[in-house]
Amino acid sequence: MIQHAGRFAPSPTGPLHHGSLLAATASYLDARRQGLQWWVRIDDLDSPRVASGAEDSILRTLDAHGLHWDGPVQRQSLHIDRYEAALTELSRQKLLFYCSCSRQTLADAQVYPGTCRHRHRPVADTAIRVRVDEAPIRFHDLIHGDQSEILSRSCGDFVVRRRDGFIAYQLATAVDDGSDAITRVVRGGDLLDNTARQIYLMQHLGLQVPTYAHLPVLVDSHGRKLSKQTSAPALNDRNAAANLLAVFPFLGLNPPAGTREWSPGELLDWGAVEFDLARIPPGSATFRL
């Protein structure tokens, strides 16, 4: 029997911060509110960027904050056979070609110009791109509403295997999120513009398209997204309840005021009852540290 689930999928490039806690908490509360399992998947395909000890740090932080996952931790590095099978299927549909264009060559191109579309035979030192078309990709986001995108106009043919041989983010995520088990994907709004590409791949691979919700992006006082690249401070696991209370307002959650000291588990139990994606505004939100 398939267990339906939501998921949180961090990359092990460093410790969690308040922005990643917002995504993890929203995904967890949504799954619990919907009566779904909640899975953790470590997106560790880009091995040169994987930081030593980061996965253990992420799992400890989730556990300290009461964000207890169901079943074993998933890892993309163990799914390579799935991604290879997806590439084989896309090749069978004659959707793939080999691209030798460098980043410098494409630096001024917002849409891939189709330069290498004629290269259908394997060529050394090339990326693999998937051919897109003029058909609109439509989906409903539970926070942003109805979405429609024509990939040939917004991004053009996109990479599914990188030049260095690694499976690209779009393909790996499409295959994993297109699993029959994943029915809800609640993640940061900075990933909204990836969704049409992932749905396009799911459609061609005969995979199930989940329901999406893209959360507000937390930014610092300079308008920069909270991230490892902008030196967002790591969460202090000893302050788990305070950390949850700090991100709750961005999810439309305001626990009753008073002298009561909440534990992380109590906060999440309360939040799972009160949580409603309809209360969350789209866009970005400034987070004051």
Q: What domains sit in the chain, N to C, each tagged with a CATH number? A: 5-286 (3.40.50.620)
CB 113, CB 156: distance < 8 Å: yes
Q: Report the SS3 class of residue 133.
A: coil
Q: Scanning the structure block, which residue is given the tokens 């560790």?
A: 44
- In Å, what is the CA distance from 124 to each residue of 74, 101, 119, 163, 167? 32, 13, 11, 9, 16
pLDDT, one tens digit per residue, over 95-135 is 999 999 988 889 888 999 999 999 998 888 999 999 999 99
Give the max Cα distance, the chain. Answer: 68
Q: How confident is the model at residue 289 (pLDDT cuts 50, 70, 90)?
A: low
225 forms beta bridges with 219
Closest CA to 154 of 210, 199, 196: 196
Q: What DSSP string runs through 190-205?
A: GGGGGHHHHHHHHHHH
Q: How confident is the model at residue 223 (pLDDT cuts 50, 70, 90)?
A: confident
Which amino acid is residue 210, in one-letter code? P
- 5 or 260, higher pLDDT: 5
* Report field, pTM of the whole predicted structure over 0.75: yes
CA 52 to chain centre: 21
